[in-house]
Amino acid sequence: MPHRRNYAHVVDVPFSLYLTRFFQALLAGCLLGLTAYAIAFNDFASVRLSVFASAFALAILGYYLVAVHALPFIYNWLAIIITEFLIIAFYAATFSSLAALYTDEKYSDFLYSNVIIAIVAMSAFAFVTHVITFLMHAAGVVKHRKQGKPLFSPQGRRPTIDMSQA
């Protein structure tokens, strides 16, 4: 009989969360491309922060995809909540620092300004989508615990003493 994976600890979330995650991955990829284009003109720290935030978002979304669908024993709800909170902070810092860069008069190249506006708008939208998924996942964790399901993977944990014989 083949070994079945245990998904009891994976938090049940609505299907709309998966669609939002897919959209976040597309958004992070577009942001990565736009920021790479912006770095070709000027290498400012706020643009580099945008590259980091986009790459970090893609890394967490990759972990989430693998942990939920391929290797459920590496799934950890706390890691997802913490990394989601971190990406919210990174995107907030990104769009606020880029907005401050845009308002500075000495960096007022027309083409570069339009790219910065696009990055600010997309970063703000990514920020909002990550806040929404953070709240949806946190609500899923609360619901998961109210149903009495385990929070961590029971796979690989075997009791050292057989209590049925005692």
- Can you say whether the dihedral through the CA atoms of 88, 89, 95, 99 is positive or negative? positive
DSSP code per residue over 92-146? HHHHHHHHHHHH-GGG--HHHHHHHHHHHHHHHHHHHHHHHHHHHHHHHHHHHHH
Q: Tokens 């709240």 map to which residue?
A: 135
| pLDDT tens-digit series, residues 6-20 | 666 778 888 999 999
| Candidate from 49-63, 73-87, 112-126, 140-154 with smallest mean pLDDT | 140-154
Question: What is the reported pLDDT for 4?
Answer: 57
Question: What is the reported pLDDT for 74?
Answer: 86
How far apart are the C-alpha atoms of 100 and 117, rounded to whole Å? Answer: 11
Which residues 6+ apart lie within 8 Å of 121 measured at CB? none
| pLDDT tens-digit series, residues 112-149 | 788 889 999 999 999 999 999 999 999 998 988 787 77
Please tell me which residue, 10 or 67, carries the higher pLDDT value. Answer: 67
Reported pTM: 0.83
Does 126 reside within a domain?
yes
Question: What is the reported pLDDT for 146?
Answer: 86
Q: Report the number of distinct structural domains present in the chain.
A: 1
Does 25 reside within a domain?
yes
Question: What is the reported pLDDT for 158?
Answer: 52
Query: Between the CA of residue 140 and those of 58, 77, 133, what are the distances in Å?
Result: 22, 10, 10
Question: What is the reported pLDDT for 1?
Answer: 44
Classify residue 31 by burial, with Cβ atoms within 10 Å: 0-12, 13-18, 19+: buried
Percent of the chain with pLDDT over 90: 52
What letter would DSSP give residue 41?
H
Does 155 reside within a domain?
no
Confidence of residue 153 (pLDDT cuts 50, 70, 90): low
Question: What is the reported pLDDT for 133?
Answer: 96
Tell whether the model's pLDDT for residue 70 goes beyond 60: yes
Question: What is the reported pLDDT for 58?
Answer: 97
Structural domain boundaries enclosing 92: 15-147
Does 85 reside within a domain?
yes
Does 64 reside within a domain?
yes
